[in-house]
Amino acid sequence: MNDVCIIGVGMTRFGKHLDKSLKELGKEAALNAIEDVNIDHSQIEAAFVGNAMAGILSGQECIRGQVILNDVGLSDVNVINTENACASGSSAFHLAWTAVASGVYDVVLVLAAEKMVYQDKNKAFKALESGTDVEQLKNFPGYCENSKGKSIFMDYYADEANKHMNQYGTSIETLAKIAEKNSYNGSFNPYAQYQEAHSLESILQSRMISDPLRLLMCSPVSDGAAAAVLCNKKVASKFSTKPIYVASSVGVSEVGSTNDKSTVERAAIKSYEKAGLGPDDLDVLEVHDATVIGELLAYEQLGLCQKGQGGELIESGKTKLDGDLPVNPSGGLISRGHPVGATGVAQIVEIVWQLRGAAGKRQVSTDPKVGLTENVGGFINNDNAAAFIHLLKK
Amino acid sequence: MNDVCIIGVGMTRFGKHLDKSLKELGKEAALNAIEDVNIDHSQIEAAFVGNAMAGILSGQECIRGQVILNDVGLSDVNVINTENACASGSSAFHLAWTAVASGVYDVVLVLAAEKMVYQDKNKAFKALESGTDVEQLKNFPGYCENSKGKSIFMDYYADEANKHMNQYGTSIETLAKIAEKNSYNGSFNPYAQYQEAHSLESILQSRMISDPLRLLMCSPVSDGAAAAVLCNKKVASKFSTKPIYVASSVGVSEVGSTNDKSTVERAAIKSYEKAGLGPDDLDVLEVHDATVIGELLAYEQLGLCQKGQGGELIESGKTKLDGDLPVNPSGGLISRGHPVGATGVAQIVEIVWQLRGAAGKRQVSTDPKVGLTENVGGFINNDNAAAFIHLLKK
């Protein structure tokens, strides 16, 4: 298996871009990544494109990647279109990594893009339902016929938050500290949808979305795109003096397994084993804080702390920007935003910037050599339908 | 790069299955392929699922594979969802091949499934429009606001047929002989949607769809699924005494290239080069006869004959079931049917059966050792958006 490097990264600012189409967002991110490595467009042999919901939101199904990339200046490429709900981006990255690792291609583009913001705000919430088994939707916790004003996933996360609070005595103030940290981090990120640091008090007083989760504890509806150029290590020196290596790329899905470990836990175990690394080797992480409880559970599922001790970890300050193990220096899904199919690649872009020491005011102080991204998508059988973990190293 | 074998194949009968859901069709094909190789379900490490239009047709976007495979009995798998319009199935096969070639997995499942037949017959025709750039749809040849009774792709194919007839003097009778051949072949295929051999006269008198293409010269709207189990050659002997090898797996997409060769021509050149094989080595083919002109153009694009001589090749009888180079022994898309996302894998399943000598009454008489599948999807910039070619050998 060939070693694989990330040689170029780029993204759009995430946000509510009513004036921009999926094509425009995707093109901007792709060109940013290609320009980052200063490669000739003709050297890109394939493109792996992640998008979750354009079929439902815009009617553009089937050949999304070809349509988005149609005037980016690529020529003789194979375009692969993939989706895995909120993990569509890391699904695309995983396929790109696999293709370069196999030797089928030496240089490939990964593009992850999502357009969710339309005049009708409920359109995106409705489309998010397709991240579940739509025939079983009525059995989904908190489902109502005309979902208004929120995604049904917020009810799932609220349920998880209540369980953690009841079982381990985690307080809502502790959970809110994750939002406080991430909004602080996001205030330094020019690519973030929200660049305002919120006080604990304002987070705890924001509008209730699904008890106990309040607005500022949840990721927003967003537009955006992120991209990366990957290559075989053997040719990396031709293109870049600062390649970042993919130490492992692992995906685990839920299909009615009797396994008692969650998809994230199983993906974490495999990731560490494949990379020959463990939680103690990590210097920086981007995790899937679709809501605050998502980040707290990630702490435990990734082995950063014992089960039930996620609250103590956030209270310790260790995961803050200036802590020993910074988590979501970008601001995470809560502040950077969450254009669902784009998130997985945006996480990887952030870790690359951090490992390069190029993250500006939000650069972590751990002199990072190893970073991890955790990205999940969809729900089925009361677990994430897909979980992808990437370990990157200098 | 590891050598990759196909060790198990299976499919549903293609047809109009108003009583069957996408889940039921997918499950049936997956179980058929798994039972064909008699493998323990737990040995399957990943599943690559191709589907083109469920997002639009049923609202099931995002995690189609997890939903379809939810009670097939797999356990610790990674599910990849991919789409490439009518080439979704071969896109999934290509990704599965890449993953095994890379060494990421040793044993994987490919599943391609499509449910197109609903009470509202126009639903599928409308959904097929998503195989183009939907923003540019009004510029598509033959587009009308409320497409009724046919797919817009039939107008594209009619245009191609007229061009060939004008440029090379190909007659409609010659084109109809492709439908005659394929309906004859389909009459021996228990998996085919249509199992009736049509006379040349009845083909030429069937209802006009898009001049000069008539009903029996076009593929129908269909439901169905097809599946395969792939493994690393190193472990193949554990599972099968009759593995079929993937000699090459190539995809080429259209993204605004200035290349003067079509996606199929480029894919063919790469396929032969990678496999160290040429047109003269082929013993049997399955090609994308979405309409009769599709098969005739494939003859030329795959190098079976010179450009403009596709008509002579069909007239020679060489591509008949008992000819020296049988094409579409299954009945092709015209008779086996065309559940769009499933077709690419169904083609591969047929070639595997032919190479095994297990195709029953439609077994070709060339003692086949090498077979080819050609599967295309979508249209953009007046070419197929995606073209995949697979070369398989004993």
User: A246-281 as b/e, with b when 16 or more CB fall inside 10 Å?
Assistant: bbbbbbbbbbebeeeebbbbbbbbbbbeebebeeee
A257 contact B CB<8A: yes
B80 contact A CB<8A: yes
How many angstroms away from the CA of B113 is the closest CA of chain A? 14
Q: Of B227, B245, B242, nearest to B109 (Cα)?
A: B227
A67 contact B CB<8A: yes
Question: Do residues B253 and B263 lie in contact, with contact meaning Cβ atoms separated by under 8 Å?
Answer: yes
Q: Is the pLDDT of residue B142 over 70?
A: no
Handedness of CA A87, A93, A96, A97 (dihedral sign): negative
Which residues in chain A have Cβ-Cβ distances shorter than 8 Å to B127?
61
End-to-end CA distance of chain B: 19
Q: A260: which DSSP letter?
A: S
The pLDDT score that the predictor gives to residue B140 is 77
Question: Do residues B379 and B136 lie in contact, with contact meaning Cβ atoms separated by under 8 Å?
Answer: no
B301 contact A CB<8A: no
Q: Which one of the listed residues B5, B17, B86, B390 is annotated catalytic?
A: B86
The pLDDT score that the predictor gives to residue B100 is 98
Is residue B305 among the annotated active site residues?
Answer: no
Q: Which helix (H) or strand (E) holds A111?
A: strand A107-115
Closest-CA residue of B relative to A103 is B1
Q: Is the pLDDT of residue B143 over 80?
A: no
Amino acid letter, B21: S
The pLDDT score that the predictor gives to residue B378 is 96
The pLDDT score that the predictor gives to residue A198 is 98
Q: Give which of B74, B255, B266, B343 to mutate to test A binding, by max A Cβ within 10 Å.
A: B255
Q: Which one of the listed residues A5, A86, A231, A305 is annotated catalytic?
A: A86
Q: What is the percent of chain B where pLDDT is above 70?
A: 98
Is residue B218 among the annotated active site residues?
Answer: no
CA A217 to chain centre: 17
Q: Quickly tell me which residue has 């737990």 as its tokens.
A: B42
Q: How far apart are CA A102 and CA B101, in angstroms?
A: 6
Question: Do residues B127 and B57 lie in contact, with contact meaning Cβ atoms separated by under 8 Å?
Answer: yes
B49 contact A CB<8A: no
CB-side exposure of A260: number of CA atoms within 13 Å? 0
Beta-carbon separation of B55 and A60 below 8 A: no
Q: How far apart are CA A80 and CA A82, in angstroms?
A: 6
Closest-CA residue of B relative to A274 is B104
Closest-CA residue of A relative to B250 is A78
Q: Of B377, B322, B326, nearest to B94 (Cα)?
A: B377
Q: What is the mean pLDDT of chain B?
A: 96
Q: What is the pLDDT of residues B372-386, one digit of tens each?
A: 999 999 999 999 999
A287 contact B CB<8A: no
Q: What is the percent of chain A where pLDDT is above 70?
A: 98
- Other CB atoms within a 10 A radius of the CB of residue B1 amount to 14
Beta-carbon separation of B79 and A55 below 8 A: no
Q: What is the pLDDT of residues B174-217, one digit of tens each?
A: 999 999 999 999 999 999 999 999 999 999 999 999 999 999 99
The pLDDT score that the predictor gives to residue A38 is 82
Of A153-167, A216-230, B139-153, where does mean pLDDT reach its minimum?
B139-153
Confirm whether the ipTM is greater than 0.90.
Answer: yes
Average pLDDT value for residue range A221-225: 98
The pLDDT score that the predictor gives to residue B62 is 95
The 3-state DSSP class for residue B76 equals coil
Amino acid letter, A129: E
List the alpha helices (DSSP H) in A220-262: 233-239
Structure tokens belonging to residue B245? 């090898």
Q: Is the pLDDT of residue B147 over 80?
A: no
Q: How far apart are CA B256 and CA B369, in angstroms?
A: 37
Point out the residue among A65, A71, A130 whose CB comes nearest to the CB of B59: A130
A96 contact B CB<8A: no
Q: Give which of A51, A255, A263 to mutate to test B binding, by max B Cβ within 10 Å.
A: A255
Q: What is the pLDDT of residues B41-72, one digit of tens each?
A: 999 999 999 999 999 999 999 999 999 999 89
Q: What band does B227 get if pLDDT is binned at 50, 70 and 90?
A: very high
Beta-carbon separation of B71 and A257 below 8 A: no
Q: Give which of A51, A66, A68 to mutate to test B binding, by max B Cβ within 10 Å.
A: A66
The 3-state DSSP class for residue A89 equals helix
Closest-CA residue of B relative to A48 is B82
Q: Which one of the listed residues B17, B164, B198, B338 is annotated catalytic?
A: B338
How many angstroms away from the CA of A386 is the closest CA of chain B? 8
Q: How far apart are CA A333 and CA A286, in angstroms?
A: 9
Average pLDDT value for residue range A356-383: 97
Q: How far apart are CA A175 and CA A180, in angstroms?
A: 9
A189 contact B CB<8A: no
Q: Is the pLDDT of residue A304 over 70?
A: yes
Q: What band does A115 get if pLDDT is binned at 50, 70 and 90?
A: very high
What's the angle, vertex CA B39, arms to CA A132 and CA B369, rounded to 5? 110
The 3-state DSSP class for residue B141 equals coil
Q: A147: which DSSP letter?
A: -
Beta-carbon separation of A130 and B62 below 8 A: yes
- Other CB atoms within a 10 A radius of the CB of residue A365 amount to 11
Q: Is the pLDDT of residue A146 over 70?
A: no
Closest-CA residue of A relative to B104 is A98
Q: What is the pLDDT of residues B307-317, one digit of tens each?
A: 999 999 999 99
B380 contact A CB<8A: yes
Average pLDDT value for residue range A355-374: 98
Structure tokens belonging to residue A384? 């994430």
Q: What band does B38 get if pLDDT is binned at 50, 70 and 90?
A: confident
The pLDDT score that the predictor gives to residue B36 is 97
Structure tokens belonging to residue B232? 């690393």
B132 contact A CB<8A: yes
Which residues in chain B have Cβ-Cβ distances shorter than 8 Å to A132?
63
What's the angle, vertex CA A27, arms to CA A25 and CA A28, rounded to 5? 65
Q: What is the percent of chain A where pLDDT is above 90?
A: 92
Handedness of CA A258, A261, A262, A265 (dihedral sign): negative
The pLDDT score that the predictor gives to residue A230 is 98
